[in-house]
Chain A
Amino acid sequence: MMTDQTLISGAPRVKLKWYQVIDPITKLLLILDMTLLSFASTNLLLQAGLILVATLLLLFSKLSSTTFKALGFSLFLIGTMLIIQGLFYSRNQTVLFSVLGVSFYKEGLIYATTLGCRVLVIILTSGFFMVTTSISENAAYLELSGLSYKTVYVLMSVCYILPEMMRNMRKIQQAQKVRGTNPQKTLIQKLKSVLPVLIPLVIKTLDQSMARSISLQLRGFDNPNRTVRTSQRVYRLSRTLHIGLTGLAILLIGWKIWSKINGL
């Protein structure tokens, strides 16, 4: 993640990569368009094409562990979908292959594959967004676009609070481990080990949110004199891309509705 070196040196001096000159809204619209395209069609070749495009985008920007985790989680679920739908889909007729006497049907497998492709498209494109934008960039952009600081705060502080809470949770868990715990088997035992960690953590978090609220008010976050620091980045072709991609989204939605009405 790129950090602004401007605070001490006073002048922006970073070389921008290709994905950093595209503003966040354009990226989000891109996700929306590709998802809509994926949902609007059942053509497997088109789905494969979309997945390829999304993967290329990712490969040319940055690979991150979060994307891999998301992929792993979904691939597993897609695998179970293939099995269940391949066996039990209501419109199953033609047998594709049999394993140990159990038949897998073509219709169910195609259905599951289509669903799976859609999931992959969404994951890959969102991965691209996550990996190429930083939290503070999004926050500054949102505030510049006119959202109130309160709204921006709510949305963005979540990104900071999650790692903080996971850290607190690990701290408490370690303290618990020191006291010595036996491996839990039954549901009741597991609940008993979760509660002494969860409940203090929750109360501490709520307490801290009250302290933070008081502090923010004391520090004048709602002062009308507040001016957002102007973004250090220059975005290319923002307006054109916004209009173009939104238009595409409307087209796709329209096409889907039209084809539904015509019973396609």
Chain B
Amino acid sequence: MVEDKRIVIENLTTRYPGTEQPQLRQINAEVHTGQVVGIIGNSHSGKSTLCRVLAGVIPKIVSAEIEGDWHMLGRRVSDGWRAYNAMTGVVLQNPAGQLSGLADTVADEIAFDLINQGMAEGLIQKRVVEVATQMGLIEQLNLRPESLSGGQIQRLAIATAIAANPAVLIMDDPTSEMDPLGRRQFFQWLAQVKETNVFIVTSEIDDLCEVGDVVWVLNEGQMVAQGRPGEVFNHLAADWQIPAPTIQQLAQKMDWHLADGRYPVNDAELKEARYVHN
């Protein structure tokens, strides 16, 4: 049997108890293995709810009415929560709420997920150091989590999500408290992540265009656009209230467009457009 390597969402509608309007309406999407998906939209568009559904938080932890179906790499939440959860690494909004609240040191915090899975002690220590290096937290390993700055706490939250090497990473605004340098380092790290599906909610449009394979645009709970960044950003509707990438705005001013008439949205395309222009 061929292993299903896609992530598929079919006609997903979600409504929280006690609310009149559904938060998500008729979402349809399909993603292939290893792709980085950026989820954008203005506030209340349902981005966080979509993350929760993908992570399995809805319906397993937080109750809500769901219609429609979704599965990741062939698995559904209903097939087995443990297996589904093991596939995903999740970073939700509010990084302080992500931490266990019971760790003496940063290293203990990162090790938490691994201890829960019953990993051997020696392996845990190695993995903690690996992950801390990736997130630039090596110096902070013996510090208390409370003593970290906002940006460091976010990096710690991301570290805990990637510790168990998940096949799917779901991140809801993971750079909100980082300074510009931290953000740049994060997206550089994201660019070299391989063989992992990444769903990232972010408002860093420019970085998304450099790193993302697919962009989903949500507006009022509906998926109003999906596709490659180049296509999506060239066809933005005004009422979505999404700014165009800086490079695209620059190119529009200078009237540098690509061979097929589109405006470039990232570095590579910009260079190509310059070439075409000449």
Chain A positions within 8 Å of B, measured between CB atoms, are 3-4, 7-8, 10, 135-136, 139, 153, 156-157, 160-161, 163-164, 167, 207-208, 210-221, 223, 225-227, 229
Contacts and interface: CB of A to CB of B under 8 A. Distances in A.
Contacts, number: 95
Contacts of B96: 208
B92 A214 contact: yes
Given A214-B57, A219-B160, 20 more contacts: A3-B104, A7-B142, A8-B142, A135-B104, A160-B102, A164-B146, A208-B96, A211-B92, A211-B94, A212-B100, A214-B61, A215-B92, A215-B99, A218-B55, A218-B57, A218-B61, A218-B85, A219-B112, A220-B85, A229-B121
Nearest to A216: B100
Contact of B90 (A7, A135, A218, A225): A218
B94 A208 contact: yes
B21 interface: no
A156 B94 CA distance: 22
B185 interface: no
B105 to A, nearest CB: 7
Nearest to A149: B116
11 contacts: A10-B125, A157-B101, A160-B101, A163-B146, A208-B96, A211-B94, A212-B101, A214-B62, A218-B88, A221-B116, A226-B117
Nearest to B97: A211
Interface string B94-114: 101111111011011000110
Given A220-B117, A223-B116, A226-B115, A211 B125 contact: no
Interface string B138-154: 00011000100000000
From A135, A210, A227, name the one whose CB has the most chain B CB atoms within 10 angstroms. Answer: A227
Nearest to A224: B118
Q: Please list the 4 inter-chain residue pairs (A to B) with the smallest Cβ-Cβ separation, ordered nearest first.
A: A211-B97, A225-B118, A220-B116, A223-B116
Interface of A is mostly: helix
Given A215-B92, A218-B61, A223 B117 contact: yes
Contacts of A214: 57, 61-62, 92
A220 B118 CA distance: 11
B161 to A, nearest CB: 9
From A3, A164, A218, A226, name the one whose CB has the most chain B CB atoms within 10 angstroms. Answer: A218
Contacts of B60: 217
B82 interface: yes
A217 B90 CA distance: 11
B102 A3 contact: no
A227 B146 CA distance: 25
B61 A217 contact: yes
B128 A7 contact: yes
From A4, A167, A207, A216, name the one whose CB has the most chain B CB atoms within 10 angstroms. Answer: A216
A225 B117 contact: yes
A216 to B, nearest CB: 6
Contact of B102 (A7, A139, A163, A223): A139
Contacts of A164: 101, 146
Interface in B18-71: 55-57, 60-62
Nearest to A225: B118
Nearest to B100: A216
B102 A153 contact: yes
A207 B99 CA distance: 14
Contacts of B118: 223, 225-227
A166 B136 CA distance: 29
From A214, A215, A221, A225, name the one whose CB has the most chain B CB atoms within 10 angstroms. Answer: A215
A201 to B, nearest CB: 14
A153 B56 CA distance: 24
B172 to A, nearest CB: 11
A226 B125 contact: no
Nearest to A217: B61
A227 B114 CA distance: 10
